[in-house]
Structure 1
């Protein structure tokens, strides 16, 4: 990873628009022209994206997915999770499928996408994230391996004021190191909806938690483990990129780094012991 800037492919999706009303028709035309290369009618893979009030961000995400380089048939399915902005107007102008989920929450949104998807495999994505051209190929190369039921990829942050790339690289190096420790006994704790893949058949038997709580993705991964193995996708060509708004909630970079280190140290010893079976639909976050 470059210490001082995001990859060049990321920069082409940093649109300067603040709302749907500012987006020119030419932007939609360009994205739709890229999407026409793909036949989404009989997908092997469904890329499912939940979206709540993401009228501009979801455009960036789909624009990046429209640049995918793959021969694997896929579809893009966006779940409008009861948005109150103009997210649906953005979706209606793009050559992708969208469905509406009135039940608020990440789990209900992903469940709706799981039910409506046409593909044998699901790749989950986020409306505020960008995906490299080889993302589908790299994720599916691991998910296609015998006995693998769920995979997860890594992610990086797009720099913003107060969060420069060299600082974010420190945070990401720490994050990737922690992921290695977690993967030994608790791989599901590394499964974030920004980049997960799994077999739809098994996921339909499990279902997502249907109330608003963080960790819906890890809960799904944990329950999938009874059907097979969970694997990491470490390839840099599969690394998704996202904004820093989740980090900004903690304030400055220094405070964010301190809080994350303190959190991981508190639960470090538990990472060396497998999490016992439990009802993921009623469990609460620590």
Structure 2
């Protein structure tokens, strides 16, 4: 299916699905539950995902591979609607109470049984051959620790205007060029939405769970550490994801962005009180 074919599933719920679609998705999770020894683990953190979750799951159900795999959804204080979708369809869900994408990814890593761990996003649509293309290279090259790719973007309802298609083409060229550069440039342009990692390589490293931002650092920080233990491989493949939120271009990361610094409420209240006193006098 092309990404535009997922439009009917934007904002869908299990109750809004027709019988064929509902049976397909519930049967999919029943089959996954019978996989005792998965070779690949797909880890999907869930926070606020109700609008795209059904479509994302449908893209997983369309995966074509002979490799046994598991899908683990890590709910990270998720909204009730997202949790209800997962429950009604019979998905495997584990919980991580500490808020933050790195806490969720770490929880998924600890739960994973596969030799290869794929980081997934619930607002993304994956190529049917994603597992084969991202996982098989690890069995060819024993020194490989990371396979990565470049995602494209879709508009709110999984549509692609001419403007978006042009943007995706330019983005692909730009990222391919950046990823061909040296260490510093390459690391900054690897994205978690398209990462497959050898589990034995990532387990001793883990995720940076002290990061304050929900995005922008977990993939780059992990890639820096993986770069010291093995080889990387770029894999051309189609993955579509939602447009990222806008950031302050000058201060994109949490360790240099004032809005992630804990505020001192007592000092703020005292300052407001002084201002109020001055005005009333």
Q: Normalised by the shorter chain, which TM-score bucket?
A: 0.7 to 0.9
The alpha-carbon deviation at position 47 of structure 1 amounts to 0.3
SS at match of 2:67: coil
State the 1:285 CA deviation: 6.0
Separation of aligned partners in 1, 2:31 and 2:14: 27
Task: State the partner residue of 1:14.
Answer: 7
CA offset at residue 25 of structure 1?
6.2
Match of 2:149 in 1: 153
Further displaced range: 122-131 or 192-201: 192-201
User: How many residue pairs end up in the alignment?
Assistant: 244
Contact 1:17 1:23 in 2 (8 A): no
Equivalent in the alignment of 2:204:
205
SS of residue matched to 2:48 = coil
Give the C-alpha shift of residue 69 in structure 1: 0.9
Unaligned runs of 5+ in 2: 258-281
Unaligned runs of 5+ in 1: 1-7, 251-258, 264-282
TM-score under structure 1 length normalisation = 0.75
The CA RMSD measured in Å over matched residues stands at: 2.7
Match of 1:137 among 132, 136, 151: 132
Structure 2 matches for 1:15-94, cutoff 5 A? Answer: 15-18=8-11, 20=13, 23-24=16-17, 26=19, 27-35=21-29, 39-94=34-89
Residue 179 (structure 1) aligns with: 179
Structure 2 matches for 1:81-120, cutoff 5 A? 81-120=76-115
CA distance change for structure 1 residues 93 and 40 in 2, over 3 Å: closer, same or farther? farther
Secondary structure (helix, strand or coil) at the match of 1:181 reads coil
What is the CA–CA distance in structure 1 between the aligned matches of 2:14 and 2:145, rounded to whole Å? 42
Q: What corresponds to 2:255 in structure 1? A: 284
| Structure 1 contact 75–96 (Cα < 8 Å) conserved | no
Which residue of the partner structure matches residue 253 of structure 1?
none
Q: Does 1:189 align with 2:191?
A: no
Relative to structure 1, the CA distance from residue 21 to residue 42 in structure 2 (aligned partners, 3 Å threshold; closer, same or farther) is: closer
Give the corresponding residue for 2:241: 242
Alignment match, 1:233: 235
Which range is displaced more, 87-96 or 15-24? 15-24
- Tell me: CA distance 1:135–1:285, structure 2 relative to 1, closer, same or farther (3 Å): farther
Q: Any idea what the Cα deviations from partners look like across 1:225-284, whole Å, max 9, x if unmatched?
A: 2221122112xxx2211123x26x37xxxxxxxx98xx8xxxxxxxxxxxxxxxxxxx93
Summarize deviations over 1:189-214 as a string: whole Å, max 9, x none: 23211110112222121111113333
